[in-house]
């Protein structure tokens, strides 16, 4: 399945990383509102999620294709909140969220894509990755967890993997939630100041924060080398939760619209059956 150009609104189109483009994340406005009003955007989000629910029901019934939605971001950018916002009210039977931690157990005995492939959505379902195979060209690169000659090869391996998924019926769409360093600082402080949210904070978060420039370079390389026509990246401004949520919901909806799943034809003669 090799989709053509996805029909989306102009705001999302401006955030898409073109194949071969070398994006500079510092040039993206993390607080952009696109002229939207907050309350109107929140109301629209409800309508968009309702349409996602209807499209997801058709995708599930059709059971011929699937959708993989990859979400990557720095800490505190709002991955969990985004997922809650865009999946609220969807049938959990047709949506699965996978979160990838540091490999352990049997995962360490296989290649880095083994556990990823196993978590990809089956036909009829939407799979959402909260972090993903991209950690193997991000944190692995920044923290020198494997030699450079290994992670350098992974960009092409990942692109080939996603192309294979597309050829076999899984649409792949990827978003980078682009939060500013200053907004991350404020969110970390808010967590520390709130006893009910303090559990979310890890001392290791500050270690990663010190490596911010290295992570930005790693993300720019990943976006540039793995954004393709079949599996594009979108850089989503994430300093304002309500903007982030609406953009991601619109992208999910527009992707499903483009896939245009259909309910299967009923069995012949069922229209004449009367249950007694």
pLDDT of residue 266: 84
Domains and CATH numbers, the chain: 10-259 (3.40.50.300)
pLDDT of residue 6: 65
Q: Would you say residue 187 has pLDDT above 60?
A: yes
pLDDT of residue 1: 42
**What are the φ/ψ torsions at residue 72 (nearest 5 degrees)?**
-125, 150
**What are the φ/ψ torsions at residue 129 (nearest 5 degrees)?**
-100, 115
From residue 122, alpha-carbon distances to 93, 125, 265 in Å are: 12, 6, 21
What is the spatial distance between Cα 166 and Cα 161, in angstroms, rounded to a whole number? 9
Lowest mean pLDDT among 5-9, 12-16, 19-23, 221-225: 5-9
* Mean local confidence (pLDDT), 142-151: 96
* Mean local confidence (pLDDT), 158-186: 98
Q: Report residue 154's pLDDT band, with 50, 70 and 90 as the boundaries.
A: very high
Structural element, H or E, at residue 244 = helix 241-259
From residue 69, alpha-carbon distances to 203, 218, 272 in Å are: 29, 20, 41
From residue 238, alpha-carbon distances to 79, 108, 163, 264 in Å are: 10, 33, 28, 38
Each residue's pLDDT tens digit, 52-101:
999 999 999 999 999 999 999 999 999 999 999 999 989 999 999 999 98
* Sign of the alpha-carbon dihedral angle for 252, 257, 259, 262: positive
Q: Report residue 5's pLDDT band, with 50, 70 and 90 as the boundaries.
A: low
Q: Would you say residue 4 has pLDDT above 60?
A: no
Each residue's pLDDT tens digit, 200-242:
898 888 999 999 999 999 999 999 999 999 999 999 999 999 9
Residue ranges in 143-240 assigned as alpha helix (H): 148-167, 181-193, 203-210, 212-226
* Sign of the alpha-carbon dihedral angle for 155, 159, 161, 162: positive
What is the spatial distance between Cα 237 and Cα 243, in angstroms, rounded to a whole number? 7
pTM over 0.85: yes
Going by C-alpha positions, the residue among 45, 16, 15 that lies closest to residue 243 is 45
């Amino acid at each position: 399945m090799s989709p053509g150009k996805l029909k989306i609104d102009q705001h999302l189109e401006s955030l898409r990383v073109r194949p071969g483009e070398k994006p500079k994340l510092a040039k993206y406005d993390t607080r952009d509102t696109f002229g939207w009003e907050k309350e109107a955007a929140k109301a629209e989000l409800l309508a968009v999620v309702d349409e996602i629910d209807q499209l997801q029901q058709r995708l599930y019934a059709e059971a011929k294709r699937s959708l993989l939605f990859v979400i990557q971001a720095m800490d505190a950018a709002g991955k969990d909140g985004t997922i809650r916002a865009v999946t609220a009210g969807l049938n959990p039977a047709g949506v699965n969220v996978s979160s990838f931690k540091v490999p352990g157990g049997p995962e360490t005995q296989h290649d880095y894509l083994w556990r990823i492939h196993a978590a990809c959505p089956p036909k009829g379902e939407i799979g959402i990755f909260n972090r993903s195979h991209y950690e193997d060209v991000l944190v692995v690169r920044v923290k020198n967890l494997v030699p450079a000659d290994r992670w350098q090869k992974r960009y092409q391996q990942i692109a080939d993997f996603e192309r294979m998924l597309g050829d076999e019926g899984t649409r792949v769409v990827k978003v980078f939630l682009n939060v500013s360093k200053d907004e991350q600082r404020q969110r970390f402080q808010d967590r520390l100041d709130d006893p009910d949210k303090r559990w979310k904070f890890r001392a290791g978060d500050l270690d990663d924060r010190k490596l911010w420039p290295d992570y930005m370079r790693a993300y720019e390389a990943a976006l540039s080398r793995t954004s393709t026509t079949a599996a594009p990246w979108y850089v989503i401004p994430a300093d304002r939760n309500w903007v982030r949520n609406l953009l991601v919901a619109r992208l999910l909806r527009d992707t499903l619209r483009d896939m245009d799943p259909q309910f299967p034809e009923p069995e012949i003669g069922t229209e004449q059956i009367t249950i007694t």
